[in-house]
Amino acid sequence: MRHRLIRWLDLFLQGFTIGLIVILAVLVLMAVVFRYTGNSLIWYDEVAIVLLAWITYAGATFAVLRNAHLGFSGILYGAPPAVRLGLFAVNEVVFMAAFGVVLWGSWVILGIFGSETMTTLRWVPRWFIQGIVPVSAALMILARLITLPERLAAVRAGRDPDSEEIAQEIARAEAELAAQKERPL
């Protein structure tokens, strides 16, 4: 069940983020064409900024799910096992507390600005625009919780995911190089 949830969330975040990037690219091309013809879109700048923010939040949530954020894994995995587990626990508590505050604070802010609308598109409510913040904070907490068993097992075993990924990429590159050497010119 948990693995199915991880897979579903992974696919959703991929599709959502890619969809936002495509929409932003189309919007930028539209804006260029309209400006070239002398008919600038009045709402373009505001919508592009919102889309960029949404892409950032969705991408950050995707990175949390895949445990792909920048970190200090060298410090964590270089520590003795008992210290490593302690550092891992502190890291998880700080993460949950920080994003719990972001979730709560952004929810409160939505209540304050909920009746406002975008400046150029008066029919788009501000709560919809800023709603990405509490939604992504909640999804980040969920992603962190559902991937906890795998990450904890890696920490207990001393398997640094970054080092494993680097080793896999080196092996892949060496295999490609060997295959190229075997091909006749």
106, 180 in Cβ contact below 8 A?
Answer: no
Express each pLDDT in 52-92 by its tens digit: 999 999 999 999 999 888 777 778 888 888 899 999 999 99
Confidence of residue 114 (pLDDT cuts 50, 70, 90): low
Task: Please report, for the chain, the start and end positions of each structural domain, with discontinuous segments joined by +.
Answer: 2-162
Q: Read off the pLDDT of each residue in 132-148 and give the average, rounded to a whole number.
A: 94
Confidence of residue 135 (pLDDT cuts 50, 70, 90): very high
What is the separation, in whole angstroms, between the first and last Cα of the chain?
Answer: 51
| Three-state secondary structure call for residue 122 | coil
Residue 141 in this model has a pLDDT that exceeds 90: yes
The token duo for 125 is: 């409510």
Q: Read off the pLDDT of each residue in 13-38 and give the average, rounded to a whole number.
A: 94
pTM flag (> 0.85): no
**Which pLDDT belongs to residue 127?**
80
Confidence of residue 162 (pLDDT cuts 50, 70, 90): confident
| Tokens 């979730």, residue located | 103
Confidence of residue 128 (pLDDT cuts 50, 70, 90): confident
Q: What is the CA radius of gyration of the chain?
A: 22
Between 2-6, 132-136, 158-162, the lowest mean confidence (pLDDT) is in: 158-162
Residue 46 in this model has a pLDDT that exceeds 80: yes
Return the closest-CA partner of residue 59 out of 3, 127, 140.
Answer: 140
Q: Dihedral angle at the C-alpha atoms of 13, 101, 156, 2, nearest 10 degrees? A: -40
123, 96 in Cβ contact below 8 A?
Answer: no
Q: Which stretches of the chain are DSSP H helices? A: 2-36, 44-65, 73-78, 81-113, 126-130, 132-146, 148-157, 161-182
Return the closest-CA partner of residue 120 out of 27, 28, 41, 34.
Answer: 41
